[in-house]
């Protein structure tokens, strides 16, 4: 089973890539991609007769997922040059 969870996409190139990957995404559904709000997505796949909108609920406790501090590393490197 192939299912895509598609979030808000504004960039036209990104939208075209998703449209090609999701053979079941029609023009009307693709038109919703730039206007999806925060936490909104659509499910697209062969098992869905039409794209299914969904609202993602924020967790009660946010995960601790701090990524690398690239900007800090770049600042230090450029200062030592």
Domain assignment of residue 79, yes or no: no
pLDDT of 70: 80
With respect to residue 3, please indicate whether it lies within any of the assigned structural domains: yes
Residue 76's pLDDT is: 62
Quote the number of domains for the chain: 1
| pLDDT computed for residue 1 by the predictor | 67
| pTM greater than 0.75 (yes/no) | no
Kind plus residue range of the DSSP H or E element containing 55? strand 52-55
Q: What is the pLDDT along the chain (81 residues), one digit of tens a residue?
A: 678 888 888 888 888 888 777 776 777 777 878 888 888 998 887 777 788 889 988 888 887 878 887 877 777 655 555
- Asked whether residue 74 is domain-assigned, the answer is no
Contact 45, 3 (CB under 8 A): yes
In-domain check, residue 64: no
Domain assignment present for residue 62? The answer is: no
Report yes or no on 75 lying in a domain: no
DSSP for 19-47, written as a single string: HHH-TT--HHHHTTGGG--TTEEEEEETT
Phi-psi region of 76 (alpha: psi -120 to 50; beta: other; left: phi over 0): alpha
Give the pLDDT of residue 52.
86
Range of the domain at 4: 1-57
Strand order in the sheet with 52-55: 3-6, 40-45, 52-55
């Amino acid at each position: 089973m192939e299912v895509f969870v598609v979030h808000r996409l504004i960039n036209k190139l990104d939208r075209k890539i998703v449209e090609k990957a999701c053979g079941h995404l029609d023009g009307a559904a693709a038109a919703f991609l730039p206007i999806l709000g925060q936490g909104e997505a659509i499910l697209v796949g062969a098992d869905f007769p039409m794209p299914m909108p969904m609202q993602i609920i924020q967790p009660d406790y946010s995960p601790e997922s701090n990524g690398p501090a690239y900007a800090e590393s770049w600042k230090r490197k450029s200062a030592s040059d």
